[in-house]
Amino acid sequence: MAIQKATVVGAGQMGSGIAQTLAHSGIEVTLYDLDRSAVDRGIKLISTSLNRLVSRGKTTDELRLQLLDRIIPATDFDRTQDTELVIEAVTECMETKQRIFAQLDQICMPHTILASNTSSLSITELGSATNRAPFVIGMHFMNPVPIMPLVEIIRGLETSNETFERIQILSQQLGKTPVEVKDFPGFVSNRILMPMINEAIFTVYEGVAEPEAVDQVMKLGMNHPMGPIALADFIGLDTCLAIMETLYHGFGDSKYRPCPLLRKYVQAGWLGKKTGRGFYRYS
Ligand code: NAD
């Protein structure tokens, strides 16, 4: 049966995009974050995205209002009791995600699917924090969620075929193309993308070129729509560092060591576009 009620945990750039996409296909969504200001920020991101779509004639004002009506802000898990699916999109940290999964496992109905939008972390390990590993799965959307067509679907060791099929069907209903990949650090997308971004940052760190020059080379020379340094800022430098750490520790291979400059920027709180400063400055 098609999913009608879902909860998104984490109202950041990914969580808000996922909530918008679910609501667009008629699903009632509870959007949860730690406090009201974080949830409001998420709702604001959705409103801005919808306003842009209306101004470009891609949706109507009536549909925009209907869609916003389907998203219910929340700061506690009360409403998750009757949800059929939870998609977790909080900060890329195993400890935080496991704590949330353990909590949800206690509150949600026994057959509720717990999906994670993690970019790199083990779905099997997330499942081990619950008593419902067959209902735990990776559902990795791309940024910006309403626009990007791919969803990587990752089974943990114990994920059931039924859970996999329901998430595959849901992804198609959302207008996305699901691609199944195995549960290894960074899956496919970030095992390939993130070392390239890290290497781009190394070229800046070693003084080979300025960020603008690196991005120009990759855009004009390799036909990338966005240069890797600008993309790192767009993804979030904290997320990029967390993914590199997962690859580095997960494979135990020095080729994945995060660039010290990336680490320094994260320590400074320069997380990219979302904080107004990364390799570039944003107003
Ligand atoms: P973000 O920093 O924009 O948002 C994270 C949100 O999680 C914040 O609103 C924060 O308040 C909330 N949060 C943190 N701890 C929480 C908790 N205990 N309970 C509830 N909410 C909590 O990050 P993002 O870019 O949206 O990334 C979220 C997830 O999506 C990460 O796992 C990331 O790896 C993954 N992801 C990111 C991208 C990307 O391009 N940024 C792409 C695909 C997947």
Q: What is the pLDDT along the chain (283 residues), one digit of tens a residue?
A: 789 999 999 999 999 999 999 999 999 999 999 999 999 999 999 999 999 999 999 999 999 999 999 999 999 998 888 999 999 999 999 999 999 999 999 999 999 999 999 999 999 999 999 999 999 999 999 999 999 999 999 999 999 999 999 999 999 999 999 999 999 999 999 999 999 999 999 999 999 999 999 999 999 999 999 999 999 999 999 999 999 999 999 999 999 999 999 999 999 999 999 999 999 999 8
**Domains of the chain by range and CATH?**
5-181 (3.40.50.720), 190-275 (1.10.1040.10)
**From CA 167, how far away is CA 179, in angstroms rounded?**
11
- For residue 250, the tally of other CB atoms under 10 A from its CB is 16
| DSSP result, 8-31 | EE--SHHHHHHHHHHHHTT-EEEE
Q: Which of 39, 45, 91 to mutate to test the pocket of ligand 1 (most atoms within 8 A of CB)?
A: 91
14 lines ligand 1 (CB under 6 A): yes
119 included as an active-site residue: yes
Pull the structure tokens for residue 75. Answer: 């700061």
Cis status of the peptide bond prior to 211, with omega within 30 of 0: no
223 included as an active-site residue: no
The pTM score is 0.96
Q: ∠259-264-270 over CA atoms, to 5°?
A: 115
Which residue in the list 92, 152, 171, 198 is annotated as catalytic?
Answer: 152
Which residue in the list 84, 122, 140, 198 is annotated as catalytic?
Answer: 140
Contacts of 64 (CB under 8 A, 6+ apart): 50, 51, 53, 54
